[in-house]
Chains A and B, each alone.
Chain A
Amino acid sequence: MKLTQIELLEISQEIRKDYAPKISNSTPKLTLMPVDPKHLYAYWNLGKNEPFSLQKNTAKQLTLRVYSASDKNNYLGKGYEDIPITRLQSRQDVFLSIATHVTSYRASLGICFSDNALEVFADSNLTQLPQEKRPIATVKPDSPSGLTPTNKEIKASGYNNRSGQGIKGIA
Chain B
Amino acid sequence: MKNGFLSIILHAHLPYVRHPEHESFFEENWLFEAITECYIPLISVLDRLQNDEIPYRLTLSLSPPLICMLRDELLQIRYLKYLHQSLELAEKEIIRTRLQPEFQKLAHLYSRFYKKTLTIYQDQYDCDLLIAFKKHHTAGTLELITCAATHGLLPLLNISEIAIRNQINIGIETFKANLGFSPSGFWLPECAYYPGLETLLAEASINYFFVDSHGIMNASQIPRNGVYAPLNCGNGVMAFARDPESSRQVWSSQEGYPGDQDYREYYKDIGFDLDLDYIAPYILDSDIRINTGIKYYRITGKDLPKESYSPKKARAKVQQHAQDFINKRQQQIIDLNITMNRPPIIIAPYDAELFGHWWFEGPQWLECVLRLASNPNNHIQTISCSDYLVQQSGHQIATPSASTWGDQGYFSYWLNETNNWIYPLLHKAEAEMEQLVSDFRDLTINSLQKRALNQAARSVLLAQASDWPFIMKSGTTTEYANKRITDHLARFNYLHDAIRKNNIDNRYLTALEIMDNIFPAINFWDYLSSKKNN
Contacts and interface: CB of A to CB of B under 8 A. Distances in A.
Interface of A: 1, 3, 5, 7-9, 11-12, 15-16, 18-21, 23-24, 31, 33-37, 39, 41, 43, 45, 90-91, 103, 125, 128-134, 136-150, 152-171
A21 B159 CA distance: 19
Contacts of B389: none
Interface of B: 13-15, 20-23, 27, 29-30, 33-34, 151, 155-156, 159, 189-191, 194-195, 213-214, 217-218, 222, 226, 242, 244-245, 247-248, 250-253, 256, 258-259, 261, 265-267, 271-272, 288-291, 299-302, 351, 353-354, 358-359, 401-413, 415-416, 420, 423-425, 427-429, 466-467, 470-471, 474-477, 485-487, 489-491, 493-494, 497, 506-508, 510-512, 514-515
A33 B155 CA distance: 8
Contact of B217 (A41, A136, A165): A136
A90 B428 CA distance: 15
A131 B291 contact: no
A19 B29 contact: no
A154 B476 contact: yes
Contacts of B427: 31
26 contacts: A5-B20, A8-B20, A15-B494, A15-B512, A33-B411, A134-B214, A136-B214, A136-B226, A138-B213, A138-B409, A139-B248, A141-B251, A142-B253, A145-B301, A156-B272, A156-B291, A160-B476, A161-B351, A162-B189, A163-B190, A164-B413, A164-B470, A165-B405, A166-B256, A167-B358, A171-B475
B222 to A, nearest CB: 8
A41 B428 contact: no
A160 B266 CA distance: 13
Given A15-B494, A35-B412, A146-B261, 20 more contacts: A15-B487, A15-B490, A15-B512, A16-B487, A19-B493, A19-B497, A31-B423, A31-B424, A35-B410, A37-B410, A134-B222, A136-B244, A141-B407, A142-B251, A147-B258, A148-B267, A157-B266, A166-B354, A167-B358, A170-B474
Contact of B218 (A31, A130, A144): A130
A1 to B, nearest CB: 5
Contacts of B497: 19
Contact of A162 (B291, B470, B506): B470
B21 A5 contact: yes
A43 B408 CA distance: 23
Nearest to A104: B195
B203 to A, nearest CB: 20
Contact of A158 (B291, B487, B493): B291
A165 B251 contact: yes
A18 B490 CA distance: 8
A146 B300 contact: yes
Given A21-B486, A128-B195, A154 B406 contact: no
Contacts of B512: 11, 15
B507 A35 contact: no
Contact of A163 (B213, B265, B351): B351
Top-5 shortest CB links A-B: A144-B259, A164-B406, A130-B402, A166-B251, A8-B21
A115 B244 CA distance: 51
B218 A133 contact: yes
Nearest to B402: A130
Contact of B265 (A5, A130, A146): A146
Nearest to A157: B291
B29 A35 contact: no
A40 to B, nearest CB: 10
Contacts of A138: 213-214, 244, 409
B252 A133 contact: no
Contacts of A3: 507, 510-511, 514
B164 to A, nearest CB: 13
Contacts of A161: 351, 353-354, 358
Contacts of B485: 21
A34 B155 contact: yes
Nearest to A90: B424
A158 to B, nearest CB: 5
Contacts of A166: 250-253, 256, 258, 354
Please indicate which of the listed interface residues B271, B420, B511 has the most CB atoms of chain A within 10 Å of its own CB.
B511
A134 B217 contact: yes
B410 A130 contact: yes
Given A41-B415, A162-B470, A20 B514 contact: no
Given A16-B486, A35-B415, A133-B214, A160 B410 contact: no
Contacts of A153: 267, 272
A131 B402 contact: yes
Please indicate which of the listed interface residues B299, B302, B402 has the most CB atoms of chain A within 10 Å of its own CB.
B402
Nearest to B351: A161
B159 A31 contact: yes
A133 B245 CA distance: 17
Contacts of A19: 490-491, 493-494, 497
Contacts of B151: 162
A14 B301 CA distance: 51
B470 to A, nearest CB: 5
A123 to B, nearest CB: 14
B423 A33 contact: yes
